[in-house]
Structure 1
Amino acid sequence: MPRIFITATGTGVGKTYASCRIIEALGARGIRVGACKPVETGVTSVPADAAALLQCVQRFNPAFAPLSPEDLCAYTFPLPAAPFCADTERIISLETLFEKIRHLESLCDLLVIEGAGGLMVPITRDYAMVDLARDLEAPVLLVSSSELGGINPTLLSLELLRNRRLPHDWCVNLYRDSDSFVSVTRPYYDAAHPGWWSLQEGLDRYLEKILDRIGKPDSGQIG
Protein backbone atom coordinates (compact mmCIF):
# COMPACT_ATOMS: atom_id res chain seq x y z
CA MET A 1 0.00 0.00 0.00
CA PRO A 2 1.47 3.39 -0.95
CA ARG A 3 2.14 5.58 2.07
CA ILE A 4 3.70 8.97 2.79
CA PHE A 5 4.97 9.84 6.26
CA ILE A 6 4.93 13.55 7.09
CA THR A 7 7.27 14.78 9.81
CA ALA A 8 8.90 18.08 10.71
CA THR A 9 11.88 19.63 12.44
CA GLY A 10 9.72 20.31 15.48
CA THR A 11 6.28 21.11 16.81
CA GLY A 12 4.28 23.84 15.11
CA VAL A 13 6.32 23.79 11.90
CA GLY A 14 3.45 22.83 9.61
CA LYS A 15 2.94 19.07 9.38
CA THR A 16 -0.85 19.37 9.24
CA TYR A 17 -0.68 22.21 6.74
CA ALA A 18 1.67 20.17 4.54
CA SER A 19 -0.47 17.05 4.88
CA CYS A 20 -3.61 18.94 3.87
CA ARG A 21 -1.86 20.52 0.89
CA ILE A 22 -0.72 17.07 -0.25
CA ILE A 23 -4.16 15.52 0.27
CA GLU A 24 -5.82 18.28 -1.73
CA ALA A 25 -3.29 18.04 -4.55
CA LEU A 26 -3.52 14.24 -4.77
CA GLY A 27 -7.31 14.33 -4.58
CA ALA A 28 -7.40 16.88 -7.38
CA ARG A 29 -5.43 14.39 -9.47
CA GLY A 30 -8.17 11.81 -8.98
CA ILE A 31 -6.41 9.72 -6.34
CA ARG A 32 -8.52 8.12 -3.61
CA VAL A 33 -6.42 9.51 -0.79
CA GLY A 34 -6.70 8.84 2.94
CA ALA A 35 -5.14 10.19 6.12
CA CYS A 36 -4.02 9.00 9.53
CA LYS A 37 -2.78 10.76 12.67
CA PRO A 38 -1.58 7.76 14.70
CA VAL A 39 -1.16 9.70 17.95
CA GLU A 40 -2.41 13.18 18.75
CA THR A 41 -1.72 14.91 22.06
CA GLY A 42 -3.10 18.11 23.55
CA VAL A 43 -6.64 16.87 22.85
CA THR A 44 -9.30 18.14 25.26
CA SER A 45 -12.31 17.52 23.00
CA VAL A 46 -11.83 16.95 19.25
CA PRO A 47 -8.35 16.10 17.89
CA ALA A 48 -7.75 19.25 15.84
CA ASP A 49 -5.08 17.91 13.49
CA ALA A 50 -7.10 14.79 12.70
CA ALA A 51 -10.19 16.94 12.14
CA ALA A 52 -8.35 19.08 9.60
CA LEU A 53 -7.03 16.01 7.81
CA LEU A 54 -10.44 14.37 7.74
CA GLN A 55 -12.13 17.47 6.38
CA CYS A 56 -9.68 17.48 3.46
CA VAL A 57 -9.95 13.75 2.79
CA GLN A 58 -13.74 13.72 2.82
CA ARG A 59 -13.77 16.07 -0.16
CA PHE A 60 -12.13 13.39 -2.30
CA ASN A 61 -12.79 9.98 -0.75
CA PRO A 62 -16.37 8.98 0.15
CA ALA A 63 -15.10 5.98 2.13
CA PHE A 64 -13.99 8.44 4.81
CA ALA A 65 -17.37 10.21 4.93
CA PRO A 66 -18.75 8.20 7.91
CA LEU A 67 -15.59 8.67 9.98
CA SER A 68 -15.00 11.07 12.84
CA PRO A 69 -11.67 12.77 13.61
CA GLU A 70 -11.14 10.25 16.42
CA ASP A 71 -11.29 7.46 13.84
CA LEU A 72 -8.08 8.77 12.25
CA CYS A 73 -6.18 8.33 15.54
CA ALA A 74 -5.10 5.20 17.36
CA TYR A 75 -4.60 7.26 20.52
CA THR A 76 -5.37 10.75 21.79
CA PHE A 77 -4.17 12.29 25.05
CA PRO A 78 -5.02 15.59 26.78
CA LEU A 79 -1.47 16.51 27.79
CA PRO A 80 0.27 18.54 25.04
CA ALA A 81 3.51 16.57 25.11
CA ALA A 82 5.41 13.81 23.38
CA PRO A 83 3.23 10.68 23.16
CA PHE A 84 5.35 8.79 25.70
CA CYS A 85 4.98 11.62 28.22
CA ALA A 86 1.29 12.20 27.46
CA ASP A 87 0.61 8.49 27.86
CA THR A 88 0.72 8.57 31.65
CA GLU A 89 -0.97 5.17 31.98
CA ARG A 90 1.34 3.52 29.40
CA ILE A 91 -1.46 2.24 27.21
CA ILE A 92 0.17 2.74 23.81
CA SER A 93 0.53 -0.51 21.89
CA LEU A 94 2.54 -0.50 18.68
CA GLU A 95 0.31 -3.21 17.26
CA THR A 96 -2.71 -0.97 17.82
CA LEU A 97 -0.95 1.77 15.84
CA PHE A 98 -0.35 -0.61 12.95
CA GLU A 99 -3.90 -1.98 13.11
CA LYS A 100 -5.26 1.57 12.81
CA ILE A 101 -3.04 2.28 9.83
CA ARG A 102 -3.97 -0.98 8.13
CA HIS A 103 -7.68 -0.27 8.60
CA LEU A 104 -7.45 3.23 7.14
CA GLU A 105 -5.38 1.91 4.25
CA SER A 106 -8.24 -0.42 3.36
CA LEU A 107 -10.33 2.69 2.62
CA CYS A 108 -7.95 4.40 0.23
CA ASP A 109 -5.27 3.97 -2.41
CA LEU A 110 -2.65 6.20 -0.81
CA LEU A 111 -2.42 7.02 2.89
CA VAL A 112 -0.92 10.27 4.21
CA ILE A 113 0.37 9.60 7.74
CA GLU A 114 1.14 12.61 9.92
CA GLY A 115 3.56 12.11 12.79
CA ALA A 116 3.72 14.05 16.04
CA GLY A 117 6.51 16.55 16.62
CA GLY A 118 9.83 15.60 15.04
CA LEU A 119 11.61 12.40 14.11
CA MET A 120 13.02 11.61 17.54
CA VAL A 121 9.82 12.29 19.47
CA PRO A 122 9.21 9.17 21.60
CA ILE A 123 6.06 7.14 21.13
CA THR A 124 7.14 4.65 23.78
CA ARG A 125 10.34 4.69 25.81
CA ASP A 126 12.33 2.90 23.12
CA TYR A 127 10.36 3.68 19.96
CA ALA A 128 10.31 7.05 18.20
CA MET A 129 8.54 8.55 15.20
CA VAL A 130 11.52 7.72 13.00
CA ASP A 131 11.11 4.06 13.96
CA LEU A 132 7.46 4.17 12.93
CA ALA A 133 8.39 5.62 9.53
CA ARG A 134 11.00 2.88 9.12
CA ASP A 135 8.63 0.05 10.02
CA LEU A 136 5.93 1.43 7.73
CA GLU A 137 8.48 1.54 4.89
CA ALA A 138 7.00 4.90 3.97
CA PRO A 139 8.91 7.65 2.15
CA VAL A 140 9.34 10.56 4.53
CA LEU A 141 8.65 14.21 3.84
CA LEU A 142 10.47 16.45 6.30
CA VAL A 143 8.94 19.90 6.74
CA SER A 144 11.41 22.55 7.85
CA SER A 145 10.73 25.94 9.39
CA SER A 146 11.61 29.19 7.63
CA GLU A 147 12.28 30.95 10.94
CA LEU A 148 15.69 32.05 12.17
CA GLY A 149 17.45 29.04 13.67
CA GLY A 150 15.87 26.57 11.25
CA ILE A 151 19.10 25.41 9.63
CA ASN A 152 20.42 23.39 12.58
CA PRO A 153 17.31 21.23 13.23
CA THR A 154 16.92 20.74 9.48
CA LEU A 155 20.47 19.42 9.09
CA LEU A 156 20.16 17.22 12.18
CA SER A 157 16.91 15.71 10.88
CA LEU A 158 18.38 15.11 7.44
CA GLU A 159 21.43 13.49 8.98
CA LEU A 160 19.20 11.13 10.95
CA LEU A 161 17.21 10.19 7.86
CA ARG A 162 20.39 9.49 5.92
CA ASN A 163 21.90 7.45 8.76
CA ARG A 164 18.72 5.38 9.01
CA ARG A 165 18.73 5.02 5.21
CA LEU A 166 15.15 6.14 4.94
CA PRO A 167 13.89 7.42 1.59
CA HIS A 168 13.06 11.06 2.11
CA ASP A 169 12.54 14.52 0.71
CA TRP A 170 12.37 17.84 2.50
CA CYS A 171 10.89 21.25 2.07
CA VAL A 172 10.55 24.60 3.82
CA ASN A 173 7.23 25.93 5.03
CA LEU A 174 7.49 29.67 4.43
CA TYR A 175 5.44 31.04 7.28
CA ARG A 176 7.59 32.33 10.16
CA ASP A 177 10.23 34.97 9.43
CA SER A 178 9.44 34.46 5.76
CA ASP A 179 10.69 37.92 4.83
CA SER A 180 14.04 37.54 6.57
CA PHE A 181 14.37 33.92 5.35
CA VAL A 182 15.67 35.29 2.05
CA SER A 183 18.76 36.73 3.73
CA VAL A 184 19.30 34.73 6.92
CA THR A 185 18.60 31.14 5.80
CA ARG A 186 18.10 30.80 2.05
CA PRO A 187 21.71 31.64 1.08
CA TYR A 188 22.89 28.48 2.84
CA TYR A 189 20.19 26.27 1.35
CA ASP A 190 20.92 27.63 -2.12
CA ALA A 191 24.62 26.92 -1.69
CA ALA A 192 24.51 23.55 0.07
CA HIS A 193 21.13 22.13 -0.99
CA PRO A 194 20.25 23.66 -4.36
CA GLY A 195 17.37 21.20 -4.78
CA TRP A 196 15.48 22.52 -1.77
CA TRP A 197 11.90 23.65 -2.30
CA SER A 198 9.09 25.29 -0.41
CA LEU A 199 5.57 24.07 0.19
CA GLN A 200 4.36 27.26 -1.40
CA GLU A 201 6.25 26.76 -4.66
CA GLY A 202 7.60 23.24 -5.19
CA LEU A 203 4.79 20.89 -4.18
CA ASP A 204 3.88 19.87 -7.73
CA ARG A 205 7.38 18.60 -8.44
CA TYR A 206 7.37 16.58 -5.23
CA LEU A 207 4.03 15.00 -6.04
CA GLU A 208 5.26 13.99 -9.47
CA LYS A 209 8.12 12.14 -7.79
CA ILE A 210 5.70 10.40 -5.42
CA LEU A 211 3.44 9.39 -8.28
CA ASP A 212 6.39 8.12 -10.30
CA ARG A 213 7.53 6.07 -7.31
CA ILE A 214 4.18 4.42 -6.67
CA GLY A 215 2.93 4.32 -10.24
CA LYS A 216 0.65 6.94 -11.71
CA PRO A 217 -3.05 6.07 -11.48
CA ASP A 218 -5.11 4.84 -14.39
CA SER A 219 -8.71 6.06 -14.65
CA GLY A 220 -8.25 8.21 -11.58
CA GLN A 221 -7.07 5.55 -9.12
CA ILE A 222 -3.91 3.73 -8.11
CA GLY A 223 -4.29 0.01 -8.52
Structure 2
Amino acid sequence: MKDAFGAPQSLLILGGTSEIGLATARRLIARRTRTVFLAGRPSEALDTAAEGLRALGADVHTVPFDALDPASHEVTLGKVFAEGDVDMVLLAFGVLGDQARDEQEPLSAVHVAQVNYTGAVSASLVCATALQNQGHGSFVVLSSVAGERARRVNFIYGSSKAGLDAFAQGLGDALHGAGVHVMVVRPGFVRTRMTAGLPEAPLATTPEAVAAAIESGLRRRAETVWVPGTLRVVMSALRHAPRPLFRRLPV
Protein backbone atom coordinates (compact mmCIF):
# COMPACT_ATOMS: atom_id res chain seq x y z
CA MET A 1 0.00 0.00 0.00
CA LYS A 2 1.05 3.61 -0.45
CA ASP A 3 2.21 5.25 2.73
CA ALA A 4 0.51 8.15 4.51
CA PHE A 5 2.20 10.58 2.13
CA GLY A 6 0.91 8.78 -0.97
CA ALA A 7 4.33 7.46 -1.96
CA PRO A 8 4.36 3.97 -3.50
CA GLN A 9 6.05 1.30 -1.43
CA SER A 10 6.17 -1.16 -4.33
CA LEU A 11 6.96 -0.45 -7.97
CA LEU A 12 6.82 -2.48 -11.19
CA ILE A 13 8.74 -1.08 -14.15
CA LEU A 14 7.86 -2.47 -17.57
CA GLY A 15 11.10 -1.86 -19.42
CA GLY A 16 13.52 -2.57 -16.61
CA THR A 17 16.56 -1.03 -18.27
CA SER A 18 14.83 2.24 -19.21
CA GLU A 19 16.89 5.22 -18.11
CA ILE A 20 13.75 7.14 -17.26
CA GLY A 21 12.34 4.15 -15.42
CA LEU A 22 15.50 3.67 -13.38
CA ALA A 23 15.78 7.39 -12.60
CA THR A 24 12.21 7.23 -11.33
CA ALA A 25 13.00 4.16 -9.23
CA ARG A 26 16.03 5.84 -7.67
CA ARG A 27 13.98 8.90 -6.81
CA LEU A 28 11.17 6.86 -5.26
CA ILE A 29 13.57 4.61 -3.35
CA ALA A 30 15.09 7.74 -1.81
CA ARG A 31 11.59 8.46 -0.51
CA ARG A 32 9.74 5.33 0.63
CA THR A 33 9.67 2.71 -2.12
CA ARG A 34 11.11 -0.55 -0.82
CA THR A 35 10.19 -3.25 -3.36
CA VAL A 36 10.96 -2.93 -7.07
CA PHE A 37 10.26 -5.33 -9.92
CA LEU A 38 12.26 -4.74 -13.11
CA ALA A 39 10.53 -6.41 -16.05
CA GLY A 40 12.54 -6.85 -19.22
CA ARG A 41 14.42 -9.27 -21.41
CA PRO A 42 16.99 -11.20 -19.34
CA SER A 43 20.34 -9.53 -19.90
CA GLU A 44 23.45 -8.28 -18.21
CA ALA A 45 22.02 -4.76 -18.41
CA LEU A 46 18.89 -5.83 -16.50
CA ASP A 47 20.98 -7.53 -13.82
CA THR A 48 23.22 -4.48 -13.51
CA ALA A 49 20.19 -2.21 -13.15
CA ALA A 50 18.85 -4.42 -10.38
CA GLU A 51 22.16 -4.41 -8.52
CA GLY A 52 22.30 -0.63 -8.73
CA LEU A 53 18.91 -0.30 -7.07
CA ARG A 54 19.73 -2.90 -4.43
CA ALA A 55 22.72 -0.80 -3.48
CA LEU A 56 20.25 1.95 -2.58
CA GLY A 57 18.50 -0.35 -0.12
CA ALA A 58 15.59 -1.67 -2.17
CA ASP A 59 14.43 -5.27 -2.48
CA VAL A 60 14.73 -5.72 -6.25
CA HIS A 61 13.48 -8.58 -8.41
CA THR A 62 14.00 -9.09 -12.15
CA VAL A 63 11.08 -10.36 -14.20
CA PRO A 64 11.44 -11.87 -17.69
CA PHE A 65 9.25 -9.78 -19.96
CA ASP A 66 9.10 -9.32 -23.73
CA ALA A 67 6.84 -6.67 -25.23
CA LEU A 68 6.78 -8.66 -28.47
CA ASP A 69 5.32 -11.73 -26.76
CA PRO A 70 1.84 -10.62 -25.64
CA ALA A 71 0.75 -14.22 -25.15
CA SER A 72 3.10 -14.44 -22.16
CA HIS A 73 2.10 -11.20 -20.47
CA GLU A 74 -0.80 -12.45 -18.40
CA VAL A 75 1.21 -15.27 -16.85
CA THR A 76 4.49 -13.36 -16.45
CA LEU A 77 3.02 -10.19 -14.98
CA GLY A 78 0.42 -12.13 -13.04
CA LYS A 79 3.24 -13.71 -11.04
CA VAL A 80 4.34 -10.25 -9.89
CA PHE A 81 0.90 -9.34 -8.57
CA ALA A 82 0.63 -12.77 -6.97
CA GLU A 83 3.54 -11.71 -4.72
CA GLY A 84 1.36 -8.99 -3.21
CA ASP A 85 -0.14 -5.60 -4.01
CA VAL A 86 1.76 -3.34 -6.40
CA ASP A 87 1.36 0.35 -5.66
CA MET A 88 2.68 1.68 -8.96
CA VAL A 89 3.29 0.37 -12.45
CA LEU A 90 5.46 2.40 -14.83
CA LEU A 91 5.26 1.50 -18.52
CA ALA A 92 8.65 2.66 -19.75
CA PHE A 93 9.57 0.50 -22.73
CA GLY A 94 9.64 1.59 -26.34
CA VAL A 95 11.80 1.90 -29.44
CA LEU A 96 12.51 4.96 -31.56
CA GLY A 97 13.23 3.16 -34.81
CA ASP A 98 14.96 4.72 -37.80
CA GLN A 99 12.47 6.75 -39.85
CA ALA A 100 14.40 6.65 -43.14
CA ARG A 101 15.00 2.91 -42.92
CA ASP A 102 11.54 2.11 -41.61
CA GLU A 103 9.87 3.87 -44.53
CA GLN A 104 11.80 1.60 -46.90
CA GLU A 105 11.44 -1.56 -44.80
CA PRO A 106 7.81 -2.00 -43.72
CA LEU A 107 8.65 -4.85 -41.35
CA SER A 108 10.92 -2.50 -39.42
CA ALA A 109 8.06 -0.03 -39.14
CA VAL A 110 5.79 -2.82 -37.95
CA HIS A 111 8.36 -3.66 -35.26
CA VAL A 112 8.14 -0.11 -33.92
CA ALA A 113 4.33 -0.31 -33.88
CA GLN A 114 4.30 -3.71 -32.20
CA VAL A 115 6.64 -2.70 -29.40
CA ASN A 116 5.29 0.79 -28.76
CA TYR A 117 1.61 0.10 -29.22
CA THR A 118 0.56 -3.55 -29.45
CA GLY A 119 2.92 -4.74 -26.72
CA ALA A 120 2.03 -1.77 -24.56
CA VAL A 121 -1.70 -2.35 -24.93
CA SER A 122 -1.33 -5.98 -23.89
CA ALA A 123 0.83 -5.27 -20.84
CA SER A 124 -1.32 -2.30 -19.84
CA LEU A 125 -4.54 -4.27 -19.81
CA VAL A 126 -2.99 -7.07 -17.75
CA CYS A 127 -1.65 -4.61 -15.18
CA ALA A 128 -4.80 -2.47 -15.17
CA THR A 129 -6.95 -5.50 -14.40
CA ALA A 130 -4.63 -6.50 -11.56
CA LEU A 131 -4.63 -2.98 -10.11
CA GLN A 132 -8.41 -2.85 -10.36
CA ASN A 133 -8.73 -6.20 -8.61
CA GLN A 134 -6.56 -5.05 -5.74
CA GLY A 135 -8.55 -1.82 -5.56
CA HIS A 136 -5.74 0.71 -5.61
CA GLY A 137 -2.57 1.78 -7.38
CA SER A 138 -1.13 4.11 -9.99
CA PHE A 139 -0.46 3.24 -13.61
CA VAL A 140 1.99 5.61 -15.28
CA VAL A 141 2.49 5.53 -19.05
CA LEU A 142 5.48 7.13 -20.76
CA SER A 143 4.06 8.66 -23.92
CA SER A 144 5.78 11.40 -25.93
CA VAL A 145 5.14 14.84 -27.36
CA ALA A 146 5.77 13.12 -30.71
CA GLY A 147 2.30 11.66 -30.39
CA GLU A 148 0.60 15.05 -30.34
CA ARG A 149 0.93 15.49 -34.09
CA ALA A 150 2.80 13.18 -36.45
CA ARG A 151 5.73 15.02 -38.01
CA ARG A 152 7.49 14.18 -41.24
CA VAL A 153 10.77 13.38 -39.52
CA ASN A 154 9.35 10.67 -37.21
CA PHE A 155 5.74 9.95 -38.09
CA ILE A 156 6.13 6.19 -37.62
CA TYR A 157 7.33 6.55 -34.03
CA GLY A 158 4.97 9.47 -33.47
CA SER A 159 1.92 7.56 -34.67
CA SER A 160 2.75 4.63 -32.38
CA LYS A 161 2.97 7.01 -29.43
CA ALA A 162 -0.23 8.74 -30.49
CA GLY A 163 -2.00 5.41 -30.36
CA LEU A 164 -0.54 4.60 -26.96
CA ASP A 165 -1.44 8.05 -25.62
CA ALA A 166 -5.06 7.78 -26.75
CA PHE A 167 -5.29 4.25 -25.36
CA ALA A 168 -3.90 5.32 -21.97
CA GLN A 169 -6.29 8.25 -21.71
CA GLY A 170 -9.20 5.96 -22.51
CA LEU A 171 -7.94 3.47 -19.96
CA GLY A 172 -7.88 6.22 -17.35
CA ASP A 173 -11.50 7.06 -18.13
CA ALA A 174 -12.49 3.40 -17.96
CA LEU A 175 -10.84 2.99 -14.54
CA HIS A 176 -12.19 6.22 -13.07
CA GLY A 177 -13.82 5.46 -9.74
CA ALA A 178 -12.13 2.06 -9.46
CA GLY A 179 -9.34 3.27 -7.19
CA VAL A 180 -6.73 3.20 -9.97
CA HIS A 181 -4.94 6.41 -10.96
CA VAL A 182 -3.74 6.52 -14.59
CA MET A 183 -1.20 9.19 -15.52
CA VAL A 184 0.13 9.89 -19.02
CA VAL A 185 3.59 11.46 -19.18
CA ARG A 186 4.59 13.36 -22.33
CA PRO A 187 8.31 14.17 -22.37
CA GLY A 188 9.99 16.03 -25.17
CA PHE A 189 13.51 15.16 -26.33
CA VAL A 190 15.19 13.25 -23.48
CA ARG A 191 18.95 12.77 -23.40
CA THR A 192 19.21 8.96 -23.25
CA ARG A 193 20.91 6.11 -25.08
CA MET A 194 17.93 6.00 -27.45
CA THR A 195 18.50 9.57 -28.62
CA ALA A 196 22.31 9.51 -28.58
CA GLY A 197 23.71 10.94 -31.81
CA LEU A 198 20.48 12.69 -32.81
CA PRO A 199 20.26 16.47 -33.17
CA GLU A 200 19.04 17.81 -29.85
CA ALA A 201 15.61 19.41 -29.99
CA PRO A 202 14.73 22.63 -28.16
CA LEU A 203 13.62 22.19 -24.54
CA ALA A 204 15.59 18.94 -24.26
CA THR A 205 15.46 17.32 -20.84
CA THR A 206 16.98 14.50 -18.80
CA PRO A 207 15.74 11.21 -17.29
CA GLU A 208 16.13 12.75 -13.84
CA ALA A 209 13.89 15.70 -14.77
CA VAL A 210 11.24 13.34 -16.12
CA ALA A 211 11.47 11.29 -12.92
CA ALA A 212 10.94 14.42 -10.83
CA ALA A 213 7.89 15.32 -12.92
CA ILE A 214 6.50 11.81 -12.45
CA GLU A 215 6.90 12.02 -8.69
CA SER A 216 5.25 15.44 -8.61
CA GLY A 217 2.41 14.20 -10.81
CA LEU A 218 1.81 11.24 -8.50
CA ARG A 219 1.49 13.53 -5.49
CA ARG A 220 -1.01 15.72 -7.35
CA ARG A 221 -2.77 12.71 -8.89
CA ALA A 222 -2.35 14.42 -12.25
CA GLU A 223 -3.74 12.73 -15.34
CA THR A 224 -1.35 14.31 -17.85
CA VAL A 225 2.20 15.53 -17.26
CA TRP A 226 4.33 17.44 -19.80
CA VAL A 227 8.12 17.51 -19.42
CA PRO A 228 9.11 20.30 -19.45
CA GLY A 229 5.77 21.96 -18.75
CA THR A 230 6.36 24.60 -21.45
CA LEU A 231 5.75 21.93 -24.07
CA ARG A 232 2.04 21.97 -23.29
CA VAL A 233 1.78 25.38 -24.95
CA VAL A 234 4.26 24.63 -27.75
CA MET A 235 2.56 21.40 -28.78
CA SER A 236 -0.89 22.96 -28.59
CA ALA A 237 0.25 25.54 -31.12
CA LEU A 238 1.71 22.86 -33.40
CA ARG A 239 -1.38 20.69 -33.09
CA HIS A 240 -3.65 23.50 -34.23
CA ALA A 241 -1.40 24.93 -36.94
CA PRO A 242 -3.02 24.76 -40.40
CA ARG A 243 -1.53 21.93 -42.42
CA PRO A 244 -0.03 24.16 -45.16
CA LEU A 245 1.81 26.09 -42.46
CA PHE A 246 2.73 22.97 -40.49
CA ARG A 247 4.37 21.43 -43.58
CA ARG A 248 6.68 24.43 -43.87
CA LEU A 249 7.84 24.31 -40.25
CA PRO A 250 11.32 22.82 -39.55
CA VAL A 251 9.91 20.10 -37.30
Residue type matched to 2:46 in 1?
A
In the alignment, structure 2 segments of 5+ residues that lack a partner are 2-7, 97-111, 129-138, 147-151, 172-182, 223-251
Any idea what SS the aligned residue of 1:181 has? coil
| TM superposition shift of 1:128 | 2.3
Greater length-normalized contact order (CA 8 Å, ≥ 6 residues apart):
1
Q: Contact 1:5/1:139 (CA < 8 Å) preserved in 2?
A: no
Between the aligned partners of 2:200 and 2:74, the Cα distance in structure 1 is: 41
Any idea what SS the aligned residue of 2:32 has? coil
| TM superposition shift of 1:63 | 3.6
Name the CA shift for 1:205/1:16 in 2 (closer, same or farther; >3 Å). closer
| TM superposition shift of 1:204 | 1.5
| TM superposition shift of 1:198 | 4.0
Between the aligned partners of 1:139 and 1:113, the Cα distance in structure 2 is: 6
Q: Aligned pair 1:141/2:142, yes or no?
A: yes
Between the aligned partners of 2:49 and 2:72, the Cα distance in structure 1 is: 23
Q: Which residue number corresponds to residue 173 of structure 1?
A: 190
Aligned with residue 73 of structure 1, among 55, 58, 63: 63
Q: Contact 2:29/2:58 (CA < 8 Å) preserved in 1?
A: no
Q: Which residue number corresponds to residue 49 of structure 2?
A: 53
Name the CA shift for 1:150/1:23 in 2 (closer, same or farther; >3 Å). farther
Any idea what SS the aligned residue of 1:180 has? coil
| TM superposition shift of 1:16 | 1.9
Between the aligned partners of 1:179 and 1:120, the Cα distance in structure 2 is: 21
| TM superposition shift of 1:133 | 1.5
Between the aligned partners of 1:61 and 1:113, the Cα distance in structure 2 is: 23
Q: CA RMSD in A?
A: 4.2
Q: Aligned pair 1:161/2:164, yes or no?
A: yes
In the alignment, structure 1 segments of 5+ residues that lack a partner are 8-13, 77-81, 191-195, 215-223
Name the CA shift for 1:54/1:36 in 2 (closer, same or farther; >3 Å). same
Q: Contact 2:142/2:184 (CA < 8 Å) preserved in 1?
A: yes
Q: Contact 1:32/1:61 (CA < 8 Å) preserved in 2?
A: yes
Q: Aligned pair 1:204/2:209, yes or no?
A: no
* 1:27-176 alignment, distance < 5 Å: 27-37=29-39, 39-40=40-41, 47-64=43-60, 72-74=62-64, 83-84=68-69, 93-103=72-82, 106=85, 109-112=87-90, 114-115=92-93, 117=95, 120-121=113-114, 128-137=119-128, 138-142=139-143, 151-164=154-167, 165-166=170-171, 167-171=183-187, 172-175=189-192, 176=195
| TM superposition shift of 1:208 | 0.9
TM-score (norm 1): 0.54
Larger radius of gyration: 2
Between the aligned partners of 2:31 and 2:75, the Cα distance in structure 1 is: 31
Between the aligned partners of 1:101 and 1:113, the Cα distance in structure 2 is: 15
TM-score (norm 2): 0.49
- Aligned pair count? 168
Name the CA shift for 1:203/1:141 in 2 (closer, same or farther; >3 Å). same
Q: Contact 2:92/2:142 (CA < 8 Å) preserved in 1?
A: no
The share of aligned pairs that are identical, in percent, is 11
